[in-house]
Structure 1
Amino acid sequence: MEMFDLSLIWALIIGFGIMMYVLMDGFDLGLGILFPFAPDEDARDVMMNSVAPVWDGNETWLVLGGAGLLAAFPLVYSVFLPALYIGVFLMLAGLVFRGVAFELRFKSRRDRRNRRMWNRAFSWGSAIAAFAQGAVVGKYIQGFETQNGVFVGGAFDWLTPFSILTGIGIMIGYALLGTTWLILKSEGYIQAWAYKLTPPLLVAVLVIFAIISIWTPLVNPLVWDRWFGIIGIIWILPALTLLCMFVVYWSVKRRRELMPFMATLGMFLFTYLGLVVSKWPMIVPPDYTIWDAASAPESQLFLLIGVLFVLPFVLGYTFWSYWVFRGKVRVGEGYH
């Protein structure tokens, strides 16, 4: 008999990694989505410089979550890759375009044509990556058609009206994270523009949140049972999400700087926890739990030792990078 449930430990580690990626890379993607609407090139410089020192570190969490899934829950890969191949490919392609744009845009200061091209690469890459992430989440909520642990659906099954809505919702939510991050990191007319844009984005997020909350129990019987079969603590999570939305609105009206961003992070955190609680312990819905999808205990234990060694360094690096590059980003100043 095992002293520790290794599958549960790995589920918590991977869940933590995914949560950290969403919280830390969401505002990064959101700034890219907002890029075409920025007041001018100076504003775009500030937007990009505000995340240039940390964006690659943010994506470390995506690598951790993906590698952990492959090592600890191989059944997830055998189902998710064929089911979500196109969506995952679009997400990774978008992230690649963004990464290239970070460097080459700053090297094209004197070439306006190339600069516009890399502006578009940064914006489209961010939008496509964000939409693909949301659509993949939507398909996860709906579940996968499997037989004997093998996906038997089509290549475009991931793209449904529900997953399109969740994709758009993630894009708008990331854009909201982007404006609140910009409130924190900028000043002057750029900060005023971010303040002005935040309330309409918040209303759009609220509308889509309401639609998805109503629609989700209808597309998945497990979620229906969780939300309506047992009336209890689960309802605290959407209530806390709504509270965070109110705090965003209140703090923006009073021209707070840190509070809007922290409250928006809270919105994503409680929404994410609501999704986890709604689906637990299913990792490949609707048929397979974390224990069904787990690799051999010996493999999980061996890999766990390595992850527990690496994780403190990743956390330390993340904290240190944000601490070193804290404060305002001003026009003409920045990482590049």
Structure 2
Amino acid sequence: MDLYLPLIWAGIIGFGVIMYVLMDGFDLGLGILYPFAPDDEARDVMMNSVAPVWDGNETWLVLGGAGLLGAFPLVYSVFLPALYIGVFLMLAGLIFRGISFEFRFKSSKNRHWWNRAFCWGSAVATFAQGAVVGAYIQGFAVEDFVYVGSAFDWLTPFTVLTGLGLMAGYALLGATWLILKSEDYVQAWAYRITPKLLLAVLIVFAIVSLWTPLVSLPVRERWLNQIHLIWILPILAFVCAGMLYRSVKRQQEKLPFVMALGLFIFTYLGLIASKWPVIVPPDYTIWDASSAPESQLFLLIGVVFIIPIVLAYTAWTYWVFRGKVKVGEGYH
């Protein structure tokens, strides 16, 4: 049992992370696209499409963070000193993005400031998340389970690229979400920008794929030794990209968003496959980073009940607020 508890917890936390990326990614993406919207009415549609659900999406972020603290304390003891600034920027961006949802609709004189808060909060939070992923790929300077690097080791040309890449990816999610939820000229605008965003995502994906073996020797060895297995995932990601492009050209509404989700899922699985079972790069595995089996088992009992509840109310929220968001209408 002691051997399998870390595996179970790794699965739970991995599930929480990808749920957060998929659920919160498209509304962060809408914030990134905000300045480029056709007009203020289109911006109202964009915000109204996610206003009823955005705060519930972040439950997955809380679940993943709390799970890491309880199940893998070494991750916290290394990641926080290494990523203090990046995590602070992410949280600050999420705070500005969050308050802008309410104040934008209640302020007529200063609405332009809340528009900026929504846009810049979304952009900063997304860039920070992408840079943190890049830092994870690079690895950390760890000696005897203690981080020995500087506060700015996480910020390199590679992590800047991954940060910008995630901004393009979230914007793609946001555009396909808008195709699903909007109509008329707003939807037409989303159709126009989606292929451009997809091209940007694929370009960054290709550059990161070529760059990653240069910044991470373990990943390079894994790719070369298991090329027949690992490269299935990028191929599936490109299949999703191709289907996304075709569905947009055919003016389909649901499939573009589903394929954008698939693109993220297979990219995420590729990252896990490249690092597994290392959780604190370059050397510490999930078993090295685990807390006591008694602690993991105690927490697991609670999580077994919490996750179905979170899934249920998330599904119910999306079901209640299903359908198109029309210009001039909203949940406020």
**Bin of the TM-score, shorter chain as denominator length:** over 0.9
- State the one-letter code of the partner of 2:268: Y
Q: For residue 290 of structure 2, give the secondary structure of its aligned residue in structure 1.
A: coil
**Quick one: which amino acid aligns to residue 9 of structure 1?**
I
- What residue ranges of structure 2 are gaps of 5+ in the alignment? none
Q: Equivalences for 1:160-239 in 2 at 5 Å? A: 160-239=156-235
**Partners of 2:184 and 2:12 in 1: CA distance:** 41
Look up the equivalent residue of 2:52 and give its one-letter code. P
- Counterpart of 1:36? 35
Counterparts in 2 of 1:9-48, with a 5 A limit?
9-48=8-47
User: Which amino acid in the other structure matches residue 114 of structure 2?
Assistant: W
Give the superposition deviation at 1:257. Answer: 0.3
2:302 aligned partner: 306
Counterpart amino acid of residue 49 in structure 2: S
Q: Which amino acid aligns with 1:273?
A: L
2:63 equivalent to 1:71: no
Structure-2 separation of matches of 1:184 and 1:72: 38
Residue segments in structure 1 that go unaligned for 5+ positions in a row:
none
Q: What TM-score, normalized by structure 2, do the two folds share?
A: 0.99
2-side partners of 1:102 and 1:68: how far apart? Answer: 28
- In the TM superposition, what is the alpha-carbon distance from 1:231 to its structure 2 partner? 2.8
Distance in structure 1 (CA, Å) of the matches to 2:270 and 2:221: 14
Whether contact under 8 Å (2:175, 2:190) holds in the other structure is yes
Query: What is the CA distance between 1:149 and its match in structure 2?
Result: 0.7
Deviation of 1:4 after TM superposition, in Å, equals 6.2
Partner of 1:102: 101
In the TM superposition, residue 3 of structure 1 has moved relative to its aligned partner by 7.0
Taking the aligned partners of 1:207 and 1:96, their CA distance within structure 2 comes to 31
Question: Any idea what the Cα deviations from partners look like across 1:59-93, whole Å, max 9, x if unmatched?
Answer: 00000000000000000000000000000000000
SS in 2 for 1:232: helix
Residue deviations 1:190-232 (CA, integer Å, cap 9, x gap) = 0000001111111111110000011111211111111111232
**2-side partners of 1:275 and 1:105: how far apart?**
37
- Cα deviation for residue 332 of structure 1 reads 1.3
Whole-Å Cα distance in 1 between the matches of residues 211 and 39 of structure 2? Answer: 39
Secondary structure in structure 2 of the residue aligned to 1:283: strand
C-alpha distance in structure 2 between counterparts of 1:150 and 1:230, whole Å: 31
Matches of 2:160 and 2:272 in 1, distance apart?
20
Deviation of 1:234 (Å): 1.2
Q: Specify the SS of the correspondent of 2:322.
A: coil
TM-score (norm. length: structure 1): 0.98
Aligned match for 2:125, one of 124, 129, 133? 129
The one-letter amino acid paired with 1:35 is Y
Distance (whole Å) between structure 2 residues aligned to residue 79 and residue 293 of structure 1: 10
Shift of 1:123: 0.2
Q: Equivalent residue for 1:153?
A: 149
Structure 2 match to 1:321: 317
Aligned 8 A contact 2:180 2:257 in 1? yes
1:36 maps to amino acid: P
Q: Tell me how far 1:333 sits from its aligned partner.
A: 1.0
For 2:231, what is the secondary structure of its paired residue?
Answer: helix
> Contact conserved, 2:23 with 2:57, CA < 8 A, in 1?
yes
Q: Deviations along 1:232-291, whole A, 9 cap, x unmatched? A: 221110000101111111000000000000000000000000000000000000021000
CA distance in 2, matches of 1:179, 1:224: 33
**Equivalence for 1:52:** 51
1:81 is paired with a residue whose SS is: helix
2:330 equivalent in structure 1 = 334
Tell me the distance in 1 between the aligned counterparts of 2:79 and 2:226.
30
Matched letter for residue 87 of structure 1: G
Which runs of at least 4 in structure 1 moved beyond 3 Å after TM superposition?
Answer: none
Q: Give a deviation string over 1:24-46, Cα, whole Å, max 9, x none.
A: 11001000000011111100100
Amino acid paired to 1:203: L
Structure 2: which amino acid aligns with 1:15? G
Tell me the percent identity.
74
Task: Give the alignment partner of residue 240 of structure 1, picking from 222, 236, 239.
Answer: 236
Q: Show the counterpart of 2:259.
A: 263
Instruction: Tell me the amino acid that sits aligned with residue 231 of structure 1.
Output: I
